[in-house]
Amino acid sequence: MGTKFHWHNTISVIGSGYVGVTTAAIAANTGYKVYLIDINQERIDVLKTGKSFFYEEGIDALIKNALDSKQLIPTTSYDGITKSSIVFSCVGTPDNSDGSPNLDYVFSAAKAASNKMKKDAVYVQKSTVPVGTGKIVASMLPGQVAYISNPEFLREGTAVFDTLNSDRIVIGGADKEAQNKVKSLYETIEHGSANITKLTGITAQPHANGSYFLTNLESAELIKVTANAFLALKISFANSIAKLADKTGADITEVMDAVGADARINRSFLNAGRGYGGGCFPKDVSGLISSAAEHGVDLSIMTAANEVNESMPGYIVHKAKRSLTSFEKKKIAVLGLAFKAGTSDTRRSPGIKIANLLANAGAYVVAYDPHANKEAVHELKTTISIVETIVDATKNVDAVFIATEWPEFKQQDFHELSRIMKGNLVVDAVNILNPSDILKAGLQYIGIGRG
């Protein structure tokens, strides 16, 4: 049974991507009636069947339960906004060819909502936008509607866990009352999290009081892109040092384990590999660079991070070429097409770049991903075959590339792999394997920065 209608516990979420679906599914299972609005009828139809169009741990159980209890209403209509106390904008911001984010959806969502918003309702921007955008969007809304920037920090693959266990919740804006309204929504979600745990098995730790940051609008906007840019910087730094490790015989994993043991530095996001991908880091880094340029600020530190990242797929392919002499007519398996483990997302996936580079160099490429085969089809060169199992991908191949850190790639039987391969080269583009396991199975190992 749905809870009784009251506008204080009715909200709308515009945009049914990772952020919108997660926000809506969690709120709808913690006491809110949620209109999940998207102009894409196909996505709404999938949501109405009780599942998401992407793979994400726990999310389908939440959607199904909220639909059954009538707390979640996926719809292409904006009418739910007339009943909502809070409207979240979670629309996509794809990048323009010059690296700046395309804000068309951000503005069109605000325009569509502005005609329908109740007096005293709050418009909350969750989409990642360049600093300064909020001021423009706020000016499109009716005078009595407050505008808040509440950036999202969830990672794909752990979206539900991250929403229940956030390091911080940033609520930026000029209207204290509106900030507190948004804060109290998060507190309600926190109090209702036991229901999420019951449905998904994903647990929540209580928030420390310090985890709310009530800031001004521009700070909130800048916090989001700065956090992503800094993590991207860490990865590119680790990859730069990995290249030096390759030249000198140092092992990047040993180096970063010790360097990251310093609490001031921290070990996370120092894993060297084929570089970062996905819908966020590449776009946010180029968006920050173009924002800075627009204001006459030199952000060459991020341009360098970007360049290092772009070089990584080619770097590992080139390293492997030295072992195989040539890729011409070689049969090569690429395991991992998602941009990271735990998701079916293939946007800016380094695994896809590696597969296409190998195919361009004349190799016959067989690709496999446990969850992203379907998503990868249109991004892979047509000469690449996509198969449904690791065994189908690896039999009779000269070399195997591991491009995503899925546990099943790490846990495979390497003696068996050695038996079914024609050649013996294993290229670990995500540094997840233990080189000695590979060598013991009679295979040759190449990683990034591992000597």
Please identify, using beta-carbon distances, which residue of 66 and 252 lies nearer to ligand UGA: 252
Nearest approach, Cβ of 367 to ligand UGA (angstroms)?
Answer: 17
Nearest approach, Cβ of 245 to ligand UGA (angstroms)?
Answer: 15
Is 280 catalytic? The answer is yes
Q: Which is nearest to 185 in space by CA: 212, 159, 222?
A: 212
* Tokens (6 digits) for 34: 């949620």
Nearest approach, Cβ of 91 to ligand UGA (angstroms)?
Answer: 13
Nearest approach, Cβ of 271 to ligand UGA (angstroms)?
Answer: 3
For residues 167 and 201, the answer to whether their CB atoms sit within 8 Å is no
Please identify, using beta-carbon distances, which residue of 73 and 337 lies nearer to ligand UGA: 337
Please identify, using beta-carbon distances, which residue of 44 and 235 lies nearer to ligand UGA: 235
Query: Which amino acid, 102?
Result: N
Please identify, using beta-carbon distances, which residue of 80 and 449 lies nearer to ligand UGA: 449
For residues 150 and 137, the answer to whether their CB atoms sit within 8 Å is no
Rounded-to-integer distance, Cα 190 and Cα 178, Å: 19
Cα-to-chain-centroid distance, residue 344: 10
Nearest approach, Cβ of 274 to ligand UGA (angstroms)?
Answer: 7
Please identify, using beta-carbon distances, which residue of 152 and 246 lies nearer to ligand UGA: 152
Residues 6 or more apart whose CB falls under 8 angstroms from that of 369 comprise: 335, 336, 337, 338, 351, 376, 404, 406
* Tokens (6 digits) for 281: 């880091």
For residues 127 and 92, the answer to whether their CB atoms sit within 8 Å is yes
Q: Is the dihedral of CA 264, 270, 275, 277 positive or negative?
A: negative
Query: Which amino acid, 201?
Result: G
Residue 165: other Cβ atoms inside 10 A? 17
Q: Which is nearest to 425 in space by CA: 438, 434, 408?
A: 438
Q: Which residue reads 């204080």 in tokens?
A: 8
Helix axes 300-324, 217-248, angle to 10 degrees: 30
Please identify, using beta-carbon distances, which residue of 37 and 337 lies nearer to ligand UGA: 337
Please identify, using beta-carbon distances, which residue of 63 and 341 lies nearer to ligand UGA: 341
Binding site for ligand UGA (CB under 6 A): 128, 152-156, 228, 231, 235, 269-271, 273, 275-278, 280-281, 339-340
Nearest approach, Cβ of 411 to ligand UGA (angstroms)?
Answer: 18
Catalytic residue among 21, 280, 359, 446: 280
Strands in 44-175 per DSSP E: 72-75, 86-89, 122-125, 146-149, 169-172
Residue 265: other Cβ atoms inside 10 A? 12
Q: Which is nearest to 390 in space by CA: 416, 358, 364, 429?
A: 416
Nearest approach, Cβ of 286 to ligand UGA (angstroms)?
Answer: 13
- The catalytic residues are 280
